[in-house]
């Protein structure tokens, strides 16, 4: 799994001119799932996301996690995070998991994040043409890949 985590002051997802998810302070998380991903990858990544200390404390240092600032998550599925760009100019997406594998893992990630934060997770719509709006705070953007745990 690969996640692009952006600290935001606001973010929203729109599908067919309808808002499917919206948050104020928190993380916009773009999540890519590949065939090799497992439940263990999901649990490890969810823990990293929830415990990521990138929010400012009283001294302005990045020492606070989502729970410390009552932050939220907008989770967006994004298979393009596994684009292969070595040949030519048209990306290939063969590493990205097909929907029959990716959808259950995406739904499990929603449940896992919700359980860890004790909050509802805002989402996009898997496989839909989504329009994402955000105000990146900082900017702070972190990329995590479960294949690089060490």
Q: Is 43 left (phi over 0), alpha (psi -120 to 50) or beta?
A: alpha
Helices vs. strands in the chain: H and E counts, helices first: 2, 8
Helix, strand, coil % in the chain, rounded to nearest 5: 30, 40, 30
Tell me, yes or no, if 80 is annotated catalytic. yes
Taking the C-alpha atoms of residue 111 and residue 107, their distance in angstroms, rounded to an integer, is 6
The catalytic position among 9, 80, 84, 120 is 80
At residue 50, φ and ψ (nearest 5 deg) are -65, -35
Q: Which amino acids are annotated catalytic?
A: 80
């Amino acid at each position: 799994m690969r996640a692009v985590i952006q600290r935001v002051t606001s973010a929203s997802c729109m599908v067919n001119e309808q808002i499917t998810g919206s948050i104020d302070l928190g993380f916009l998380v773009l999540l890519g799932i590949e065939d090799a991903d497992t439940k263990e990858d999901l649990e490890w990544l969810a823990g990293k996301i929830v415990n990521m200390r990138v929010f400012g404390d009283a001294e302005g240092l990045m020492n606070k996690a989502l729970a410390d600032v009552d932050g939220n998550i907008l989770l967006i599925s994004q298979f393009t995070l596994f684009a292969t760009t070595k040949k030519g100019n048209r990306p290939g997406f063969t590493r990205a998991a097909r929907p029959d594998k990716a959808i259950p893992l995406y739904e499990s990630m929603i449940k896992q994040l919700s359980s860890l934060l004790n909050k509802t997770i805002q989402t996009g719509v898997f496989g839909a043409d989504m329009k994402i709006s955000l105000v990146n705070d900082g900017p702070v953007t972190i990329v995590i890949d479960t294949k690089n745990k060490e």
